[in-house]
Amino acid sequence: MAAPPPPDPQFVLRGTQSAVHALHFCGGAQGQGHPLLLSGSLSGLVHIWSLQTRRAVATLDGHEGQCVTWLQTLPQGHQLLSQGRDLKLCLWDLGEGRNAVVDSVRLESIGFCRGSVLARGHQHWTLAVPGRGSDEVQILEMPSKTSVCTLKPEADAKPGMPMCLELWQTGDRPHQGMATSLRPVERRQEDMQHPAVVVANSSPRPLLLAGYEDGSVALWDVSERKVCSRIACHTEPVMALDFDSQKARGVSGSAEKALAVWSLDEQQALQALRTQELTNPGIADVKIRPDRKILATAGWDHRIRVFHWWTMKPLAVLAFHSATVHCVAFATDGLLAAGSRDQRISVWSLYPRT
């Protein structure tokens, strides 16, 4: 039997009035239960969308008309980070109806590399952003803005600029991170060919995955300020990556016609697993759904592509947008959102979580 045609969006959000470059889902405020969708636009505005009314409930203007490239809420839920091309990262207080910038961090690089956050409890968090040198990554302890270190590639490595960053840590709880003992780990049969990393030391250690301009992906030990491993994934700059820390497996996309899938072994060495060929070149974003069942890509060819995360079997090609899709995001309930240069945000319900 022929495969059924891909579905239409569940709904479409309009009103950004410029290209959408960043998306992020967060829980509803004050226990309302309905998730909110945050979008960052080329015009420098952040829109907060109610998925119940499908309208913007607030608009944040903190980036002086410069493109918003990254959005992330902090564990408290009412604090939002927004990164813009104005060399500024803003911390917003969204609690109890407030929409105010309460702090900001001056950035050293004007590139499109998005930051990354690692929560260290409710009051402290680690921030990774592009550094002053073109090939550097700066690590800050927040909210004090204390500089932890600057990660600079070894002298003989010339990876170029960092293009995407992903902070994580060993010693996370099992559903969030890597196994933390030497006892056997129960796994489903489909997982056996990609075993989870097992580490002897359960003390948390911050690690950073960085995708670079030369197409490589590197794993940094932040505490040791050294590269644990580096792998050549692409021949073009790495535009986006995501990492499944529970199964120690990641995926990256570039300007090429391919996705790269890679893993991390017990010695913290990156290993190439497979290459997934694509119809057209150019991946702007890639996200693994929180339940680690599927992943979605944002394509330069105006398409959203959905794959099974373990087999990389193509599941759907969503052809709704009329221009480059810049970003995708998953909600915890499985909803998928995509933002495009056509100034629209499409929201999809695909393969519901069970």
Q: Say if strands 36-41 and 314-318 run parallel, antiparallel, or are unpaired.
A: unpaired
pLDDT of residue 28: 56
Domain count, the chain: 1
> How buried is residue 108: exposed, middle or buried, by Cβ count under 10 Å (0-12/13-18/19+)?
middle
Return the number of other C-beta atoms located less than 10 Å from residue 223's C-beta: 14
Give the distance between the most distant pair of CA atoms in the chain: 60
The answer as to whether 193 is a domain residue is no
**Above pLDDT 70, what percent of the chain?**
87
What is the average pLDDT across 264-279? Answer: 93
Q: Which domain holds residue 73?
A: 15-107
> How buried is residue 83: exposed, middle or buried, by Cβ count under 10 Å (0-12/13-18/19+)?
buried
41-45, 79-83, 119-123, 168-172, range with the lowest pLDDT? 168-172
| pLDDT tens digit sequence for 73-113 | 988 768 899 999 999 999 999 887 788 899 999 998 877 89
Tell me which H or E stretch contains 243.
Answer: strand 238-244
Q: Is the pTM of this model over 0.95?
A: no
What is the average pLDDT across 215-228? Answer: 94
Cα 91 to Cα 259: distance, rounded to the nearest angstrom = 33
| pLDDT tens digit sequence for 320-336 | 999 999 999 999 888 99
The answer as to whether 90 is a domain residue is yes
Q: Is the peptide bond before 143 cis (omega within 30 degrees of 0)?
A: yes
CATH number at residue 48: 2.40.128.630
The answer as to whether 217 is a domain residue is no
Buried b (16+ CB within 10 A) or exposed e, 252-277: bbbbbbbbbbbbbeeebebeebebbe
DSSP letter string over 107-168? Answer: -S--SS---EEEE-SSS-EEEEEE-SSTT-EEEEEETTTEEEEEE---TT----SEEEEEEE
The answer as to whether 286 is a domain residue is no
